[in-house]
Structure 1
């Protein structure tokens, strides 16, 4: 396993590196304190996971996250002292797979690393066929087409829509969706899921007040509707 750490605080970086040395001794660690070096390392080193703080000295942390995500589907764990919900939502929308807040224990970091790695789709090198429902096609490159028009998706949105499409016409529970997206050990609230459903509806051109494609089933979950369903 190859790990890219992008951490400006020497003490936090030391704690993260020590965690990997203790629990993942086989891991090859690549450090880049600056955003520009992180982008270069991502391209050149192809890490399996990125641990990122949001205060690189040379660029905005959210901008760096967005640029990393545009280049790769690698799992990204954000290490941050910021606890505001809007900050978390922004990071998740830009492609972060998980957040961990300072101060954190080695046990928590290890659990989150293992969770994001479990959720990573292993690439076989062979293109997988698109997932389709009428007028909607979802490809393996984080995009989909609606009535022939290509629309980009974030990694979480892609996984969410693919999961709903696999059970098109059937209700998928809140708990099942959250487990599929963030692992069986996810303990967060369903508000995170609602944010991504909201974003998907916007991108699909679905009505937010009277949706016809992604249907909310009160007390149960969501259903990707089929025409006439």
Structure 2
């Protein structure tokens, strides 16, 4: 049974969401403050965290940053801010998806199912892909650059895994949204741009002149194998 942590300071929201998720077969833990959430995240093996941005002791962004220092657990943010800049900022600090208040509990359950389904996409794969100094293990969900681990969010890993499996192929943003985020993703296709930016910061020596992830202007993105380009 997958364990899900809900972090929100409104008791009614905790009660309603817990009820719906338990009916859907999940084990649910709850926290009303950021500090309490961090303690639970360090103690329990979680499949997903549902994190409200407005908490009494600290912001949801701060909690997300702390979790991302040690964990790649998927994070679904709950926010009353519907602006694109706010959503992009959440993705940049490590959130995997966002849901704008008010929302229906059924919509949240659907999002949870979609995120966990995407998390399992590469579970049965054991392929080890090596591209220059970059190694991606699809089965273990690990990325190594010059032998050192690269920490990514689940969405960033799925995006890179999609690109490296088909080097040289140009993907449109819409195609990457469907492949990485799922056909039920409700946000902007520019979300992909944010994930690409984050990945370049982590795997490229110079993100402004990328070797691996190239922009195909007017179309989308492709992954280049530096070994082939040198050969």
TM-score range, shorter chain: 0.7 to 0.9
Q: CA shift at 1:109, angstroms? A: 1.1
Q: Secondary structure at the match of 2:109?
A: helix
- The 1-side partners of 2:95 and 2:142 are apart by 15
User: RMSD across aligned C-alpha pairs, in angstroms?
Assistant: 2.7
- The 2-side partners of 1:63 and 1:38 are apart by 11
Unaligned runs of 5+ in 2: none
Report if the CA contact (8 A) 2:96-2:153 is conserved.
Answer: no
- The 2-side partners of 1:123 and 1:163 are apart by 10
Report if the CA contact (8 A) 2:73-2:154 is conserved.
Answer: no
Partner of residue 132, structure 2: 134
Q: How does 1:28-107 map to 2 (within 5 A)?
A: 28-107=27-106
Instruction: Deviation per CA, 1:29-64: give whole Å up to 9, x if none.
Output: 211112222122223332222211012222232111
Partner of residue 118, structure 2: 119
Partner of residue 4, structure 2: 3
- The 2-side partners of 1:207 and 1:75 are apart by 25
Unaligned runs of 5+ in 1: none
Q: Secondary structure at the match of 1:52?
A: strand
Partner of residue 171, structure 1: 170
Aligned CA distance change for structure 1 residues 153 and 30 (closer, same or farther; 3 Å): closer
Aligned CA distance change for structure 1 residues 110 and 180 (closer, same or farther; 3 Å): same
Aligned length: 224
